[in-house]
Chains A and B, each alone.
Chain A
Amino acid sequence: MRKTLLFLFLLGSLAARAIADDSSTVYGRCHSPDVFSVENRANAGNLPALKLAIGVGRPCNLPLVQRYVLAHPPQFSDAQMQQMAQNLLTYVQQARQDKQVGASNNSVGTTSLVSKGVGAIVGVALESGSIQETTSGNVATVTLNSAQAANFLSAGAIKPCAVIESNCSFGRKVLSGLTVFTTYDVAQANTSTNSTAAQAALASVVGGNAPAFTGVSARMDFHARKKNVQLTELVKAYQSSSYLSVTGTYASAFNDLITSIDTNPDYQKAISNAIDDLTNTTAYDTDAKVDQILLNLEIAIANIINQNAPTTAAFQSYASAENAYRGARDTALQTVLNKWTASFQYDYNRLPNQPDQSDFKAIYSYRRDAENDRILQVTANASATIYDTLLGSTTSRFRSAQAAFQLDYTATSTASKMQAAVSGGYYFQYMVAKSLLTLPSTDLAPGTSIPLPGNASELLNTTGPIHVGQGKITLSMKNSNVSIPLALTFSNRTDLIKASKVGGNFGITYDFSSLFGALKK
Chain B
Amino acid sequence: MPCTLSICTGVDADYQGTTGASFEIAIGSTSGTATLNYALYAGTSLTSGPWKFTIASGVKVLTLVVESTVMGDRISIKEVTNGCNQVLDAFNYTPSLAPEGLEIKGL
Contacts and interface: CB of A to CB of B under 8 A. Distances in A.
A234 interface: yes
Nearest to A262: B103
Interface residues of B, number: 38
B71 A248 contact: no
Contacts of B59: 262-263
Interface string A232-244: 0011001100011
Contacts, number: 119
Contact of A234 (B11, B65, B69): B69
B99 interface: yes
Nearest to A66: B98
Nearest to B34: A231
Contacts of B92: 60
A159 B39 CA distance: 25
A272 interface: yes
Contact of B97 (A63, A248, A262): A63
Contacts of A63: 96-98
Interface stretch (A138-146, A163-171, A304-312, A406-414): A163-171
Most A Cβ at <10 Å: residue of B70, B91, B99: B99
A354 B70 CA distance: 52
Nearest to B10: A268
B14 A250 contact: no
A259 B11 contact: no
A257 to B, nearest CB: 9
A276 to B, nearest CB: 11
A interface residue count range (under 10 / 10 to 19 / 20 to 34 / 35 or more): 35 or more
A326 B38 CA distance: 15
B20 to A, nearest CB: 21
B12 A254 contact: no
B33 to A, nearest CB: 6
**Chain A, interface SS category:** helix
Contact of B69 (A59, A62, A164, A263): A164
A247 B66 CA distance: 11
Interface in B1-57: 7, 9, 11-12, 14, 32-33, 35, 37-40, 45, 47-48
A235 B12 contact: no
Interface in B61-104: 61, 63, 65-67, 69-71, 89, 91-92, 94-103
A55 B14 contact: yes
Nearest to A243: B37
A264 B90 CA distance: 26
A51 interface: yes
A235 to B, nearest CB: 6
Contact of A60 (B39, B45, B47, B91): B91
A455 interface: no
B14 to A, nearest CB: 6
A392 interface: no
Interface in A50-66: 51-52, 55-63, 66
A159 B96 contact: yes
A484 to B, nearest CB: 38
A31 B102 CA distance: 14
Contacts of A56: 101
Contacts of A251: 38-40, 45, 63, 65, 99
A104 interface: no
Contacts of A79: none
Nearest to B93: A59
B61 to A, nearest CB: 5
A147 B54 CA distance: 42
A62 B98 contact: yes
B35 A59 contact: no
A275 B67 contact: no
Given A31-B91, A238-B67, A262-B61, A248 B12 contact: no
B12 A262 contact: yes
Contacts of B47: 239, 244
Given A55-B103, A62-B101, A63-B98, 13 more contacts: A31-B91, A51-B14, A57-B101, A59-B98, A60-B97, A62-B98, A166-B71, A231-B32, A238-B35, A247-B65, A248-B38, A258-B63, A258-B101
Closest 8 CB pairs of A and B: A57-B101, A59-B97, A162-B95, A62-B98, A258-B101, A251-B40, A255-B63, A48-B7
27 contacts: A48-B7, A51-B11, A57-B14, A57-B102, A58-B91, A59-B91, A59-B99, A59-B100, A62-B101, A162-B95, A165-B95, A167-B71, A229-B69, A231-B32, A231-B35, A234-B33, A234-B35, A234-B69, A238-B35, A239-B47, A244-B38, A247-B37, A248-B38, A251-B63, A254-B99, A262-B59, A271-B11
